[in-house]
Amino acid sequence: MVKRVTRVLARQEVDFSGHSAGVQFAEAFETALAGRKIVMSTPVMTNAGRYHDRPLTACTMPTIDFDPVSSHRLKDEIVRLHEQGMGTGFNLDATSDPVATLRFLNSVAVESANNGQEDRPVGNMAVLSVRHPKVYEFITAKADASSDETDWKFNISVDLDRGFMEAMERGGSIELWDGRQADARHLFETLCGAAAACADPGIVFLDRMNARNPLPGLGAYTTTAPCAEVGLIAGETCQFGYLNLRQFVSTDAAGRPAIRSARLAQTTQLLTRALDNSLQISQQKLSGPRARHVSGQKRKIGIGICGLADALSVVGLPYDSEAARTLMADALSLINFASKEESVRLAEQRGPFGAMCTTVIGNRHREAPGHIERLYGHLDSGTVSAGEWRRLSRHIAATGMLRNVSTIALPPTGRSALVIDASTGIEPHFDTFSANDDVLAALEAVVHDKHQESIYDDPSTHSPAVREVLASASDICPAGHIGMAAALQRYTDEAISKTINLPAGSTADEVRDVYCAGYKAGMSGVTVYVDGSRKLQPKKLSQLATQGEV
């Protein structure tokens, strides 16, 4: 697989830069893949070099309407996209009966999943505004998912705008689109109760995502990718690859955690180039003219991360600690900056994204201050200064040189991370002792050196400091989960896929506290999962200890 993917992506390097550059890229990229520094999204791994007609994109927002006349076309389009390996995102605001539409879309997804033509399971997202007249029905559409026999292939999210959140906090009401008034607090409590029961709906703040939309002139985000890590306009697609943070941290001579900055920057530049190559391949294979147009106008890519929990383990930092949040934010700051610098170089070699040359109004990279300066020009990290962000943004505005309209998004990375035996996304370990042998050996060494204890000692004998280092998802309080996500959101172009794990029996009030905390922390969306709220889940957190796994 490594050689196959490398060969396909290297062909684009040859086309753009010649044979010598292609060979150099192939050698470096194959080494990074084999060394588990980089892992590509599953559509790249399953499609590259195996299918001549399939793009390497992970998800999209279909462009076909929901009217009855178009239902057969929409069904065929969804099945085709799923067979190509793409998940789908939908906005149901224009539908008069969003629950009926949701059930229709879900039935298509189930049929597609069962036809044997999908190389990978794909996700789907349906978003509805909190102001839709049938928002209550939508909120409770999956609340009985733990007891009925519906095979759900859709995540659902309610789009909560700032006005709603302010009304909810003061105990006021909002006006629905049909003119009726709805008690904002009661609506929110209903939403939280449904999420406690079945993990849906999540909440998304599209107004916040659109505030980070670099190209509103081409359209506002109306839905998200299936895991809510990027906003989508009609026809937009996602192109993902991931850096394994485990490979880019170490301890210095004094035993302090450190980022291997040169290695991380170089590998980020390599992945940026690989994703642009992947996008070039995909653009030629997207079937609809709208999708091809949007892809060329934006050239949006998403560099994500996996192995975050592994990285923290090998340097002995608790997930829920300020030191961990600072270290990981410093890493993502460098990844973001290095990817933008490489995108500038790519633009100088290959040309900028299409809208850079044609769209002045609604292209925030050409505004003053520029998009990058507005997002990051006030942030100093341990790896990139605010001044460096401002200089980069002003260079882009002055020259028009940027190949990719955005470069950073944080998907969950589930199956890709499994391929390289890394922890997923920015999540803590589900079970610390399920980490790979290399991580556990490093964790044992650092715990012994710092605390003179063994991770394999009787847990009841561990010191509080060691317990914090060994804490897994269910041990970490919601504030700890949100704290990490919020720290990384600051250096993310788009959004973050992050699940807040809650113990069995958690109530609607506890879900409400999590959702409100996420909003106040500046998140673009929040999802919760209460242990045992679904009939089917990988493991019950409450059973891990009795199985000898913690």
Query: What integer pLDDT is reported at residue 145 of this predicted model?
Result: 54
What is the number of alpha carbons within 13 Å of residue 396 lying toward its C-beta?
35
256 φ/ψ angles, rounded to the nearest 5 degrees: -85, 140
Mean pLDDT, range 156-182, rounded to an integer: 98
Residue 192's pLDDT band (boundaries 50, 70, 90)? very high
Distance CA 48, CA 43 (A): 8
Q: How far is residue 503 from each of residues 299, 475, 526, measured CA to CA in Å?
A: 41, 9, 17
Of the three residues 147, 179, 212, the one that is the final residue of a domain is: 212
- Cα–Cα dist 131/48, whole Å: 42
Q: What is the pLDDT of residues 392-407, one digit of tens each?
A: 999 999 999 999 999 9
Residue 550 has what pLDDT? Answer: 28
Which of 379, 381, 375 shows the shortest CA–CA distance to 327? 381
Least-confidence region, from 227-231, 252-256, 302-306, 528-532 = 252-256
Domain end position, chosen among 447, 467, 491:
491
Contact 311, 328 (CB under 8 A): yes
Residue pair 127/157 in contact (Cβ under 8 Å)? The answer is: yes
pLDDT tens track for 118-128 = 888 899 999 99
| 125 close to 202: Cβ distance less than 8 angstroms | no
Q: Sign of dihedral through CA atoms 76, 233, 294, 344?
A: negative
Q: Are residues 248 and 347 in the same domain?
A: yes
Same domain, 155 and 277: no
Would you say residue 205 lies in a domain? yes
458 lies in the same domain as 376: yes
Residue 538 has pLDDT above 60, yes or no: no
Q: Which residues, 6+ apart, have CB-to-CB distance to 542 below 8 Å? A: 474, 503, 504, 531, 532
For residue 408, give the DSSP letter: B
Q: Which residues of 414-423 are buried (b: 16+ CB within 10 A; e: fewer)?
A: bebbebbbbb
- In this structure, what CATH number is given to the domain that contains residue 293? 3.20.70.20
The reply to whether 147 falls in a domain is yes
Q: Which one of 441, 471, 491 terminates a domain?
A: 491
Indicate whether 264 and 358 sit together in one domain.
yes
Count of other CB atoms within 10 angstroms of residue 501: 20
pLDDT of 543 reads 47
CB atoms within 10 A of CB 143: 18
Strand partners, 249: 259
Tell me the average pLDDT across 64-93.
88
Q: Which domain holds residue 360?
A: 237-491
11 in any annotated domain:
no
Average of per-residue pLDDT across 164-183: 98
Distance CA 533, CA 138 (A): 18
- Residue 322 buriedness (CB in 10 A; 0-12 / 13-18 / 19+): exposed
Q: Is residue 27 part of a domain?
A: no
Residue bearing tokens 């897994």: 472
Q: How far apart are CA 486 and CA 518, in angstroms?
A: 8
Q: How far apart are CA 345 and CA 103, in angstroms?
A: 46
Closest CA to 514 of 531, 525, 497, 500: 500
| Mean pLDDT along residues 17-43 | 97
Residue range 437-462: mean pLDDT, rounded = 96
Contact call for residues 421 and 433 (beta carbons, < 8 A): no
Predicted confidence (pLDDT) per residue in 360-378, tens digit: 689 999 999 999 999 999 9
* 303 and 161 in a common domain: no
Q: Are residues 259 and 204 in the same domain?
A: no
The whole-number pLDDT of residue 382 equals: 97
- What is the domain count for the chain? 2
| Alpha carbons 57 and 40: distance in angstroms, whole number | 11
What confidence tens digit (pLDDT) does each residue in 468-481 have?
Answer: 999 999 999 999 99
In this structure, the answer to whether residues 204 and 242 fall within a common structural domain is no
Per-residue confidence at 193, pLDDT binned at 50, 70, 90?
A: very high
Question: What pLDDT was estimated at residue 548?
Answer: 34
Rounded CA separation 453/467 (Å) = 11
Q: How confident is the model at residue 546 (pLDDT cuts 50, 70, 90)?
A: very low
Q: What mean pLDDT comes out for the span 76-101?
A: 94
Judgement on whether residues 178 and 250 belong to the same structural domain of the protein: no
Mean pLDDT within 543-548: 40
Give percent above pLDDT 90 in the chain: 87
Clarify whether residues 351 and 401 are in a common domain. Answer: yes
pLDDT tens by residue, 199-245: 999 999 999 999 999 999 999 999 999 999 999 999 999 999 999 99
**178 and 104 in one domain?**
yes
Concatenating the DSSP letter of every residue in 238-272 gives E-EEEEEGGGGEEE-TTS-EEE-HHHHHHHHHHHH
- 241-269 pLDDT tens trace: 999 999 999 998 888 999 999 999 999 99
Residue 254 pLDDT: 84
For residues 197 and 78, state if they share a domain. yes
Question: Looking at residue 355, what is its pLDDT?
Answer: 96
Mean pLDDT along residues 133-137 = 98
Q: Has residue 96 got a pLDDT over 70? A: yes
19 part of a folded domain: no
Q: Is the pLDDT of residue 545 over 90?
A: no
User: Residue 539 pLDDT more than 80?
Assistant: no
In this predicted model, what pLDDT tens digit does every residue of 335-363 receive, in sequence order?
A: 999 999 999 999 999 999 999 988 668 99
Tokens 């610390």 sit at which residue? 432
Q: Is the peptide bond before 369 cis (omega within 30 degrees of 0)?
A: yes
**Residues 298, 416 within the same domain:** yes
Looking at the domain assignment, is residue 356 inside a domain?
A: yes
Q: Return the pLDDT at 146.
A: 53
Q: What is the pTM for the complete model shown?
A: 0.95
- Name the helix (H) or strand (E) containing 293: helix 289-298
Q: Where are the alpha helices (DSSP H) in 119-227?
A: 135-139, 162-170, 184-198, 206-211
Section 503-513 average pLDDT: 95
> Looking at the domain assignment, is residue 4 inside a domain?
no
Does a structural domain hold residue 128? yes
Q: Letter for the amino acid at 479?
A: A
